[in-house]
């Protein structure tokens, strides 16, 4: 049950414990405050008293858990949680005839076809954020899903903040099952963007999305690519080898690490004073500048 909750809310075990504690203390505070407020009113009928108490604690509960969530460091989670409950209760019902269809399905009316993107990431997700920002007002491209192999990845916090559905991959199912192809198709995903995703993509997924999976690598491939060449290791190797320049490579994904055909490369100088960290920062600037626009160009073909 706890594992299920952890996956549903995309939180670590430790955070789940803090959330449950907040629920417990928030509920107690709410009951206590409710009884105190009830005591201020002289209501004779016990039926009305009960009804009044129920209304009171319903109204007080969100406030109480929000207050309690602050010392437990869970304010962001509960703010979002309560907002979602509110939306579910009072949000506008969507008329199914207004739903946008994804490509591959028949279009209705004059609505433009939506291209649904899934972003796969294992880390902080700054590239994912840049892509989300780029397509925020797009009438055509929708970031429909954030996928990660790490429940504690920063990118899942971004998904939560941006209200984008997310999916946490299980190793066994990804590598020995159908690589989540059924789930992705079910969600209408048309195109897959890898943005700092550390697992190798299984061939079942590549076959299901031919020429529709792209990756970004923080170096000028074919140099500094392959197994073990990720994150800061790439920049360390570039600096150790005294390369005069580095850069980014955006490429299609095939069965080998960092191998598919190259779509774009952009370069930057490596100064003698550069550290792996300062080089990583320069590379990130290049990535955020080019990755979203390259994706847009690919999708408009």
**Positions that interact with ligand GRF (CB under 6 A):** 121, 123-128, 195-196, 216-218, 283, 287
For residue 215, the minimal CB distance to ligand GRF (Å) is: 7
For residue 287, the minimal CB distance to ligand GRF (Å) is: 6
**Residue of 217, 235, 251, 290 with catalytic role:** 217
For residue 110, the minimal CB distance to ligand GRF (Å) is: 36
- By beta-carbon proximity to ligand GRF, the closer residue of 62 and 125 is 125
- By beta-carbon proximity to ligand GRF, the closer residue of 57 and 156 is 156
Nearest C-alpha neighbor of 23 from the set 56, 68, 53: 68
- By beta-carbon proximity to ligand GRF, the closer residue of 121 and 184 is 121
For residue 64, the minimal CB distance to ligand GRF (Å) is: 36
Q: Torsion-angle region of residue 274: left (phi > 0), alpha (psi -120 to 50) or beta? A: beta
Whether residue 217 lies in the annotated active site? yes
- By beta-carbon proximity to ligand GRF, the closer residue of 60 and 130 is 130
Nearest-CB residue to ligand GRF? 196
**Angle subtended at Cα 220 by Cα 217 and Cα 225, rounded to the nearest 5 degrees:** 60
Tell me the catalytic residues. 217
């Amino acid at each position: 049950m706890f594992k299920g909750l952890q996956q549903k809310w995309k939180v670590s075990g430790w955070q789940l414990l803090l959330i449950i504690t907040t629920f417990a203390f928030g509920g107690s505070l709410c009951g206590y405050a409710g009884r105190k407020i009830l005591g201020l009113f002289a209501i004779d009928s016990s039926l009305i008293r009960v009804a009044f108490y129920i209304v009171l604690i319903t109204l007080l509960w969100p406030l109480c858990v929000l207050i309690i969530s602050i010392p437990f460091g869970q304010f962001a989670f509960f703010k979002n949680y309560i907002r979602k409950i509110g939306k579910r209760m009072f949000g506008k019902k969507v008329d199914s005839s207004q739903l946008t269809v994804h490509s591959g399905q028949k279009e209705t009316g004059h609505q433009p076809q939506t291209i649904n993107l899934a972003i796969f990431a294992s880390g902080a997700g700054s590239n994912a954020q840049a892509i989300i920002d780029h397509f925020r007002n797009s009438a055509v491209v929708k970031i429909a899903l954030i996928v990660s192999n790490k429940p504690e990845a920063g990118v899942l916090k971004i998904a939560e903040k941006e209200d984008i559905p997310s999916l946490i991959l299980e190793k066994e199912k990804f590598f020995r099952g159908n690589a989540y192809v059924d789930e992705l198709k079910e969600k209408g995903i048309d195109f897959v963007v890898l943005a700092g995703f550390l697992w190798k993509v299984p061939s079942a997924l590549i076959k299901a999305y031919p020429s529709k999976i792209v990756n970004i690598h923080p170096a000028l491939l074919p140099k500094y690519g392959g197994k073990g060449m990720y994150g800061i290791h790439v920049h360390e190797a570039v600096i150790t080898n005294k390369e005069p320049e580095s850069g980014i490579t955006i490429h299609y994904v095939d069965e080998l690490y960092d191998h598919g055909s190259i779509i774009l490369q952009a370069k930057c100088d490596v100064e003698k004073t550069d550290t792996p960290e300062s080089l990583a920062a320069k590379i990130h600037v290049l990535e955020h500048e080019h990755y979203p626009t390259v994706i847009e160009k690919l999708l408009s073909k």
